[in-house]
Amino acid sequence: MHTILDERYAAKPCQLLDWYLPDTDGFDTILWFHGGGMETGDRKGGEALGEQAVQAGYAFVSVEYSLYPAARYPEFILDAAQSVGHVQKRLSKLGGSGRIIITGQSAGAYLTMMLCMNPAYLRNFGVEMNGILAYCSDSAQMTTHFNVLRERGMDSRLERIDEAAPLYYAGVTMLAKPLLIIYYENDMPCRPEQNILMHKSLLRFQPDAKVELVCLPGGHCAGSSRVDETGKFPYMVELLKFAKEL
């Protein structure tokens, strides 16, 4: 494995990413957005996940993006989309296949789902959609994110479905790429129900779509936050299993 750290994908101080690369060419790439409610977290939280991805023959890119209180909706989504465009342009020079799996944890999963369900964000940054292999969300909020509600002066516990909610686009945007949805037995309040609803809503409009729903044991994002008795992250195990079927 070799790394390229602190690479800038745009001009803002936070717009940085880290590469974890296998020592062979022709690899697919997992692009990961960290969690933290769009308030906390950074790209360095992906290091251990990146090591396991590289062991399986994938490149792993951990992305940093704008956070509250400085950020305002939809800045963090725009950052996420811009990072995908940057990575896509870089892959040919680094020996990659050009195929990208977009994924994220919690807030990063919300970003993943917003890119998945409203791909105009990606197209606006010149992303070639043929290069997107799949999406994987790790305990995403499928309604309007609680911190977007807080930004609007609303109670963050409210369940709202509008243009800032991945669920808003179900039945409007037809899935063109496979999607893996992960949530947890003891997840945050309403999070299991939101993920189940997203899965059922997508299949209601596209019964033959490749959309898989997986419930893992533990609390919120446990599968990407700590390893199991085998030394593996359960989230990464599920993601790699899903990727092998593509």
In DSSP terms, 219 is beta-bridged to: 186
Burial class (CB in 10 A: 0-12, 13-18, 19+), 48: middle
Residue 161 C-alpha from the chain's centroid: 20
Can you give the pTM of this predicted structure?
A: 0.98
What's the CATH architecture for 2-244? 3-Layer(aba) Sandwich (3.40)
Of 38, 34, 36, 40, nearest to 61 by C-alpha is: 34
Q: What digits encode the pLDDT tens for the residues 207-218?
A: 999 999 999 999
Averaged pLDDT, groups of 10, the chain, 246 residues long: 97 97 97 98 96 98 98 98 98 95 98 98 97 98 98 98 98 94 98 98 97 98 97 98 95
Q: Of the candidates 185, 173, 177, 245, which has an alpha carbon nearest to the alpha carbon of residue 214?
A: 185
Q: Amino acid identity of 54?
A: V
**Integer Cα distance of 134 and 193 in angstroms:** 23
Q: What is the structure's pLDDT at 92?
A: 87
Q: Which residue has the tokens 């409009």?
A: 205
The pLDDT assigned to 210 comes to: 97
